[in-house]
Structure 1
Amino acid sequence: MPPQIIGSLYFHYPHQGNKTKIYKVFNFITKKSFIANLIAAIIFVFVLALLFFFSLGFLTHHGETITVPDVRGKDLKEATAILKNKGFEVEVRDSIYIDSLKPLAVWEQTPERNDVVKVNRTIYLTINKVVAPTVAMPDLEGLTYRSAEMTLKSRRLRVGDTIYKPDFATNSVLKQMLEGKIVKPGTMIPEGSRITLVLSSGKGSIENPVPDLVGLTYVEARELLAARSLILGTVLVDETVFDTLNAFISKQTPTPKNGLGDLNLIRAGESIDIWLSAERGVKDSTDINQ
């Protein structure tokens, strides 16, 4: 056993046999007392705390504020450069599609323009999408103009041109068109598209002779009525008809002439009922509309 030495700490390595090699690691309480070391540690911690609290103002830029510039409508690259030159951080938070705004332009910013904030604050931007998302075209036919307008707005679509045609249902939608073509309900179209509405102007004020449809095919009669702003009313089909589109008009109401031989008159927007037959009907040879 190695001798005990008071006031010092030794390590004993038994693998060295009878010869013991001792290394001194440290002296426990030699020149300074334990209380003196404790007081020094407390003072050191106190000084560190003072330095930390006094540096908070510098680290957090306490009292340093700046006014947020307005970057709405500017390109994302330009907006980012402006904000960073002012000492702000920039982050794109969201995107939206506005057809009247150029792609990647800033739509909204938070904090808002002219807000006074601390320097190094992060400004969150909402930008305009590059490609417009698509939505399903709603069915507007038969709706009033007001209802059609509200329906389009709910789908992020807009009312474009309005065209009026004579029809008995005043101010109701007769057709919905996009870029000059009829667009069917359910068709996927870009958000922000302007939809042309063909609206009913009600019945016309001028009376014109009733056209003679007898002998025409169903398709020909429909085209003639559309050209004269008249409506195809009830269609009654004979049991012999297998192809409606190529069937012939055998009878109509009102007729071109009344029982006295005078011309019957009709206004734009009014309707004519027809009967379809497999055989071509015979026209009145005295009718002026032939």
Structure 2
Amino acid sequence: MTIANPKEKQTRMKSTNFFKSRFFLIQLGIALLITITIVWITLSGLKWYTHHGEKLTVPNLYGTSLEDSAKTIDEENLRFTVYDSIYNPKYEPGTVLDQRPVAGAIVKRNRNLFLTVNAHKPEQVRFPNLVDNSFRQAYELLITNGFKIGRLKYEKSQFFNLVLYPKYKGDSIGAGSMIDKGATIDLVLGRGNTFGVLAPNLMGKINSQAKEKIIMSNLNVGKIQFDETIKNQIDSMQAKVFKQYPAYNENRKIRPGNNIDLWLTKDTLKLQQADSLLQQRLGKLLY
């Protein structure tokens, strides 16, 4: 049997007594308190830095001057960057024409808003080569370079939808010409041997969606009429198609380049009734 060394026994007793002593317990408590405080400060700092749980509503800056927009953005504890500029003669230079995120979006403090403002004068861009491209290729080139699609005209040609030549302000325009960005370009396309195209179903589409679908269906936008629910420009942007002529009909084709007239409203009941009538008419055609 091993006999414990008296000095070792005394050392162990001192260690045990130290861990039970008031001094140790006080030091342990202080260390725990310091640790808890550091963790709390760290979490609070992160919460402040990331603005956790803080929500701000993006203000509506459309149509306001850049100077007024900057003041509003600063008051709302947000930031901004002028992302792009386009020219619209209807507005004063420096007017905000678009914003991202959109008005009403929920963001955190110091979120950066990207603004598109009205330029002082049109930007000049070099016109791309569209001749002998397909209509879809020409469409992509025009949109990518900042142009708008105007009227489509079809002339005799062996190939359907082949670009024969583009027109700007009534005259043909060649590749490399410098013209205003945002200009409207008409296209003269080949008729080919097509017997006609289908009028697209535009029911419930907003104005911009309907126009794009008409153009992509090889047709032209005709008359656009708004009913009594449309009071201002914003209403006209939100209005939806409740009637079109020629009407959508899977069994009837119309000549490429023909017009499609539109009637738009914000009246949800009128839209529901129009959609119901369309479904009934299509059902009769199927059966």
**Normalising to structure 1: TM-score of the pair?**
0.41
Q: Which of the two has greater helix per residue?
A: 2
Bigger Rg, which one: 1
